[in-house]
Amino acid sequence: MIVAATWESGGLGQAGREVLGAAVRLGATLGDDVAFAALGTAAADAAAEAGGYGAARAFALEGDYAASGAEGAIAALAELARELGGRAVLLAADEQGGEIGPRLAERLSGTAVTHATDVEVADGRLLWTRPVFGGKAFAAVEALVEPVVATLRRGAFSSAETMGGAAAVETRQVPVTDGAVEFIGSEAPQTGVALEDAAVIVAGGGGLGSREAFAELEELAGLLGGAVGASLVAVDSGWAAPERQVGLTGKVVSPDLYFAIGISGASQHLAGIGGAKAVVAVNTDPDAPIFTAARLGVVMDWKRFLPVLIDELRRAAP
């Protein structure tokens, strides 16, 4: 059995379709069935939908997971994977997947593979591809001990295709944990379009030089109906919030259009934008690595370029 598990609220989300897609293809190659587990306070709809995407069994693991950090989810998934005899558990490689993967693998006496971008089966062995050295290289790794708990990079695996129908959903409640980690609160969550779902992203880097400069990016993003992203340098400098970071240690995004403004293009940043349909880079340095990832490039100081672009778009706006 291959188990796919994602956080859901309402219908099956994009991360869920990708993780399920990877599970269905892996299951077909290995001759294993797929079980899908939706986690969250309202997980039943997504679980039911998963049946139409190739999951043989569907589970809604309902509960308030935030309350215990990752502990509730780890306990729930460990129980399910043991019961189903899962050979692999697939999760999304986001902040939650990173918390769950290694510990879930440990509790199942298995192996965690993080941030996988591909999996191949050769002679029944699973070879996982993952970025290393900040995205400058890739490694193929094999788990010496099963089950494997793999976190999958967003945008690296194609979505499951719908075959219609729905699965009978088995609903379970999240196990009670010992309270060693207790949720206290969060800062007001981000407003507007989430980076992972944005069709247009306007991202700024070290070249912007200040928090104020990000306000100009907000304006451009607003005109394009997009979201603002940032490089690690910009986030570490305190110019943008950590949840705005795009890259290997931030969000992996796949917009139609990605504006990289004053971003030099460190590998760790490029690792987050491989899924963009087109990158437009604006940078003063023609040798900046960002131009290797860009479809269109403008070698110019953003301070000269951006105000004119914003004016032009404002004029064109209805």
Q: Nearest approach, Cβ of 81 to another protein (angstroms)? A: 15
Structure tokens at 54: 């190739």
Distance between CA atoms of residues 217 and 228, nearest Å: 7
Closer residue to another protein (CB): 52 or 102: 102
| Residue 192 CA, distance from chain mean position | 18
Q: What's the N-to-C CA distance of the chain in angstroms? A: 53
Closest CA to 247 of 237, 233, 259, 226: 233
For residue 13, report the phi and psi dihedrals to the nearest 5 degrees: -85, 180
For residue 296, report the phi and psi dihedrals to the nearest 5 degrees: -125, 140
Closer residue to another protein (CB): 30 or 298: 298
Q: Nearest approach, Cβ of 219 to another protein (angstroms)? A: 15
Closer residue to another protein (CB): 51 or 101: 101
Distance between CA atoms of residues 118 and 237, nearest Å: 33
Strands 34-42, 2-9: pairing kind: parallel
Closest CA to 304 of 318, 283, 285: 283
Q: Nearest approach, Cβ of 33 to another protein (angstroms)? A: 25
Closer residue to another protein (CB): 54 or 272: 272
Q: Nearest approach, Cβ of 299 to another protein (angstroms)? A: 6
Q: Nearest approach, Cβ of 162 to another protein (angstroms)? A: 25
| CB 155 within 8 Å of CB 188 | no
Contacts of 122 (CB under 8 A, 6+ apart): none
Closer residue to another protein (CB): 55 or 96: 96
Closer residue to another protein (CB): 173 or 183: 183
Q: Nearest approach, Cβ of 141 to another protein (angstroms)? A: 5
